[in-house]
Structure 1
Amino acid sequence: MTNAEQGILQPEAAESLGRALAARLRDLSIDAVVLWCDPRAAVLGHVVARELGAELVYAYSDLGILTLSSTPPPGTRAALLDYVWEPDPGLVPLLTMVRHSAEVAAVASVLSPPDSLRHNDIGPAVLISLEPTTTAAH
């Protein structure tokens, strides 16, 4: 992890980055912010959910079994969130799990998503990053 990446994981940075991500997500009517249960992303997720007035939902992977801290009701518009989408546990399993009960309206991150993130992985969701060259509607 680079020094810059370590810097964005500080709680003070999470507050300002979370507000910035929430501002980018505000027009999408997000009801739930979903992220992997990871202490590094917990503060960021809390800030984004708080700013949007959305439910915060944690995803867990335990021995290959994927679960959510709560199941969003039908019609929920969800934003999937992380600092950067790493291969493990990854975006695709989270997308698959959340789509069983909610509409994934956005996939958001602070850093650019990997080049391997293809349009068909996120379907109609909006891909949002604080790095301006990567924001695109799909």
Structure 2
Amino acid sequence: MASDTPRRPVHVYLSGLLFVVGILHFVAPKLFDGIVPPKLPGNPRTYTYGSGVAELGVATALAVPRTRRLGGWLAAGLFVGVFPANVQMAVDVVGNPKASGLFKAGVLARLPLQIPLVLGALRVARR
């Protein structure tokens, strides 16, 4: 049975996701400071704010038709670029005896979810 509800293009979801997460970098920066890999030089807050600005910029590029293809390429690069922070979060949570099994499973399940994000961004870039 076909749905009468029109499907939103993938760029709408990616832009929305990046916008919300970008704003969160400024509203709750401590959350993001904690997943900056410790081997990176400098202050974690700099990476938190820098990635928040990048996410907001890419969200905007995806939302604007004239820059949408570029936004797709930028989003794919951004998703790959922040992957080490996602891995750092997984390492920290899995190694934390106080973290619940459900939270650990969720953090680990989140890692492969980067693949459809990258693929969706590349789909936007190639249109």
Larger radius of gyration: 2
TM over 0.5: no
TM-score if structure 1 supplies the norm length? 0.26
> Higher relative contact order by CA 8 Å / sep ≥ 6: 1 or 2?
2
TM-score if structure 2 supplies the norm length? 0.28
